[in-house]
Amino acid sequence: MIEDLLSLTSQALVAMIPLLLASVGEIVTERSGVVNIGLEGILILSAFVSSLVTFSTNDPYLGLLAGALSGLSAGLLHGFISVYLRGDQIIAGVGFNTFAYGISILGLINTWGHHGASPMVSKIPFFGAPLYISPLLPIALIIAIICWFWLFRTSSGLRLRACGEDPRAAEAMGVNVLRTRFLATLLGATLTGIGGAYIVVGWIGQFTRHISAGRGFIALAIVALSGWNPALSIAGSFIFGFFDAISLYLPVKIQLINPGLNLTSLSYIFRIIPYLGVLIIVSSLFRRGRAPRDLGRPYIKE
Amino acid sequence: MEVLSLKLVEMRGITKVYPDGVVALRGVDFEASEGEIHGLLGENGAGKTTLMRILYGEIKQTSGEIIFSGRAVSFKGPWDSMRSGISMVYQRFSLVPTMSVLENFYLYLSSFQRVGIEEVKRRAEDVMERLKFRVPLEANVEDLPVGVQQRVEIIKVLLSRPKLIIFDEPTSVLTPIESRELFRILKELREEGIAIIFITHKLREVKEITDRVTILRKGERVGTYETPSVSEEELAIMMVGRGIVPAKRSVSSPGGEVMRVEDLWVRDDRGLHAVKGVSFELHEGEIFGIAGVQGNGQLELAEALAGMRRVERGRILLDGRDITDLPAEARYREGLAYIPDSRAVGLVLEMNLMENSILTSLRSFLGRGGRIIWPRASGRAGEIIERFNIVGSVRSQVKYLSGGNQQRLLVGREIIKAPKVLIVSEPTQGLDVAATEFIRSTLLKFREEGRSIILISSDLDEIFELCDRIAVIYEGKFVGIERSENLTLERLGLLMGGVNA
Amino acid sequence: MRRIILEVSLSIIMSFFIGYIMLILMGYDANIVFSIVIREGLSNPTYLMIRSTPLILTALAFSIPSLVGVFNIGGEGQFYLGALASLLIAYVTGNPLLSMLIGMAAGGLLSALIALIKVKRGVNEVVTSIMFNWMIYFSLLYLISTYLFDPLMPYQSVSVPKAARIDYLRIQSLSIPIIFPIAVLTSLAMYFLIYHSALGYRMRVVGISPRTARYAGFNPESSIIVSMIIGGAMSGLGGSLLILGHTHAIDSTMSGLYGMGFAGIGAGLLGRNNPIGIILSSIFLSMLLIGGEAAELRARVPTELADALIGMIVIVLSVPYLVRILRVRR
**pLDDT per position as a tens digit, A114-133:** 777 777 877 777 776 556 78
E strand or H helix at B221: strand B220-226
Averaging pLDDT over each range in B32-36, B427-431, C17-21, C233-237, which range is the top one?
C233-237
Check residues B251 and A28 and name the one with the higher pLDDT. A28
E strand or H helix at B280: strand B273-283
Note whether B232 and B461 are within 8 A (CB): no
pLDDT, position C155: 74
Q: Could you tell me the pLDDT band of residue C264, with boundaries at 50, 70 and 90?
A: very high
Count CA within 13 A, CB hemisphere, residue C228. Answer: 26
Q: Could you tell me the pLDDT band of residue C322, with boundaries at 50, 70 and 90?
A: low
From CA C83, how far away is CA A280, in angstroms rounded?
25
Q: Which residues of C touch B338 (CB under 8 A)?
A: 215
Q: Is residue A125 part of a domain?
A: yes
Check residues B333 and A125 and name the one with the higher pLDDT. B333
* Chains contacting B (3 or more CB pairs within 8 Å): A, C
> Per the CB < 8 Å rule, is C121 touching A283?
yes
Q: Which residues of B touch C211 (CB under 8 A)?
A: 344-345
Beta pairing class for B220-226 and B212-217: antiparallel
From CA C286, how far away is CA B176, in angstroms rounded?
68
> Per the CB < 8 Å rule, is B94 touching A159?
no
**pLDDT average, residue stretch A190-211:** 91
> Per the CB < 8 Å rule, is A283 touching C128?
yes
A/C interface, count of CB pairs below 8 Å = 156
Residue C59, chain A, CB below 8 Å: the answer is no
From CA B398, how far away is CA B356, in angstroms rounded?
8
> Per the CB < 8 Å rule, is C198 touching B330?
no
Phi, psi of A253 (to 5 degrees): -60, -45
From CA C218, how far away is CA C198, in angstroms rounded?
11
> Per the CB < 8 Å rule, is C198 touching B366?
yes
> Per the CB < 8 Å rule, is A158 touching B110?
yes
Q: Could you tell me the pLDDT band of residue B293, with boundaries at 50, 70 and 90?
A: confident
Q: Which residues of B touch A162 (CB under 8 A)?
A: 96, 99, 107
Note whether A19 and A199 are within 8 A (CB): no
From CA C178, how far away is CA C175, in angstroms rounded?
9
Read off the pLDDT of residues A53-77 as tens digits, 9 standing for 90 and up.
999 998 889 999 999 999 999 999 9
Read off the pLDDT of residues B51-98 as tens digits, 9 standing for 90 and up.
998 998 888 889 999 999 888 998 887 778 888 899 989 877 789 999
Q: Which residues are B470's β-sheet partners?
A: B289, B482
| Mutation to test the A interface, candidates B60, B76, B91, B96, most A Cβ within 10 Å | B96
Q: Is residue A217 part of a domain?
A: yes
Q: Which residues of C touch B366 (CB under 8 A)?
A: 198
Residue C62, chain A, CB below 8 Å: the answer is no
| Preceding amide of A130 cis, omega within 30 | yes
Mind giving me the DSSP string for B337-395?
Answer: EEE-S-HHHHS-TTSBHHHHHTTT-GGGGB-GGGBB-HHHHHHHHHHHHHHTT-SS-TT
Q: Which residues of C touch B327 (CB under 8 A)?
A: 217
Total structural domains in chain A?
1
- Closest-CA distance, C215 to chain B, in angstroms, reads 6
Q: Is B497's pLDDT higher than 80?
A: no
Residue B78, chain A, CB below 8 Å: the answer is yes
Question: What domain range is A36 assigned to?
Answer: 16-223
Query: Does the pTM exceed 0.95?
Result: no
- Closest-CA distance, B324 to chain C, in angstroms, reads 14
Q: Is residue A8 part of a domain?
A: no
Q: Which residues of C touch A94 (CB under 8 A)?
A: 71, 73, 262, 265, 314
Averaging pLDDT over each range in A41-45, A123-127, A151-155, which range is the top one?
A41-45
- Closest-CA distance, B206 to chain C, in angstroms, reads 37
Q: Is C67's pLDDT higher than 90?
A: yes
Residue B91, chain A, CB below 8 Å: the answer is no
Note whether B167 and B193 are within 8 A (CB): no
> Per the CB < 8 Å rule, is A269 touching C139?
yes
Among the partner residues C122, C265, C305, nearest to A286 by beta-carbon distance: C122
Using beta carbons and an 8 Å cutoff, which residues of B are at the interface with C?
306-308, 327-332, 338, 340, 344-351, 355, 358-360, 362, 366, 369-372, 374, 395
**pLDDT average, residue stretch B325-331:** 92
Any idea what DSSP says for residue B138? Answer: S
Q: Which residues of A touch C266 (CB under 8 A)?
A: 95, 98
Q: Which residues of C touch B328 (CB under 8 A)?
A: 214-217
What residue of C is the nearest CA neighbor of B365? C198
From CA A235, how far away is CA B194, in angstroms rounded?
53
Check residues C24 and C111 and name the one with the higher pLDDT. C111
Q: Is A263's pLDDT higher than 80?
A: no
Residue C131, chain A, CB below 8 Å: the answer is yes
Q: Which residues of C touch B332 (CB under 8 A)?
A: 217
Q: Which residues of B touch A166 (CB under 8 A)?
A: 95-98
Q: How big is the CA angle at B209 (ends B204 and B215), to the nearest 5 degrees?
A: 65
| Least trusted range by pLDDT, from B93-107, C25-39, C73-87 | C25-39
| Mutation to test the B interface, candidates A153, A155, A171, most B Cβ within 10 Å | A155
E strand or H helix at B262: strand B257-267
pLDDT, position B402: 86
| Least trusted range by pLDDT, from A260-269, B195-204, C162-171 | A260-269
Q: Is residue A250 part of a domain?
A: no
Q: Is C27's pLDDT higher than 80?
A: no
pLDDT, position A72: 97
- CA nearest B356: which of B368, B371, B345? B345
- CA nearest A82: which of A302, A301, A292, A296? A296
Q: Which residues of C touch B347 (CB under 8 A)?
A: 212
Residue type for position A113: G
Residue B18, chain A, CB below 8 Å: the answer is no
What residue of B is the nearest CA neighbor of A302? B59
Q: Which residues are B54's β-sheet partners?
A: none
Q: Which residues of B touch A161 (CB under 8 A)?
A: 99
Q: Could you tell me the pLDDT band of residue C294, with boundaries at 50, 70 and 90?
A: confident
> Per the CB < 8 Å rule, is A165 touching B98?
yes
pLDDT, position C28: 73
SS3 B191: helix
Residue A154, chain B, CB below 8 Å: the answer is no
> Per the CB < 8 Å rule, is C145 touching A265?
yes
Q: Could you tell me the pLDDT band of residue C321, with boundaries at 50, 70 and 90?
A: low
Residue type for position C167: D
Among the partner residues B338, B366, B395, nearest to C330 by beta-carbon distance: B395
E strand or H helix at A47: helix A39-57
**pLDDT average, residue stretch C293-310:** 72
> Per the CB < 8 Å rule, is B372 touching C211?
no
Q: Which residues of A touch B94 (CB under 8 A)?
A: 168-169, 172-173
Residue type for position A171: E
B191 by Cβ neighbours in 10 Å (0-12 / 13-18 / 19+) ranks as exposed
Q: Is B482's pLDDT higher than 50?
A: yes
- CA nearest B91: which of B174, B155, B205? B174
Q: Is B347's pLDDT higher than 80?
A: yes
Residue A295, chain B, CB below 8 Å: the answer is no
pLDDT, position A128: 64
- Closest-CA distance, B285 to chain A, in angstroms, reads 44
- CA nearest B280: which of B147, B94, B478, B497? B478
What residue of B is the nearest CA neighbor of A160? B107
Among the partner residues C196, C211, C215, nearest to B372 by beta-carbon distance: C196
Tell me which residues of chain C, numbers 31 to 50, contact chain A at a CB-CB cutoff of 8 Å: none
From CA A186, how far away is CA A34, in angstroms rounded?
11
> Per the CB < 8 Å rule, is B351 touching C208?
yes
> Per the CB < 8 Å rule, is C315 touching A88?
no
pLDDT, position A179: 94
> Per the CB < 8 Å rule, is C217 touching B372?
no
pLDDT, position C330: 40
CB atoms within 10 A of CB B229: 9
> Per the CB < 8 Å rule, is B111 touching A168?
no
Residue C117, chain A, CB below 8 Å: the answer is yes
Q: How big is the CA angle at B126 (ends B124 and B128), to the nearest 5 degrees?
A: 70
SS3 B216: strand
pLDDT, position C329: 46
Phi, psi of B216 (to 5 degrees): -110, 140
Averaging pLDDT over each range in A142-146, A262-266, C20-24, C137-141, which range is the top one?
A142-146
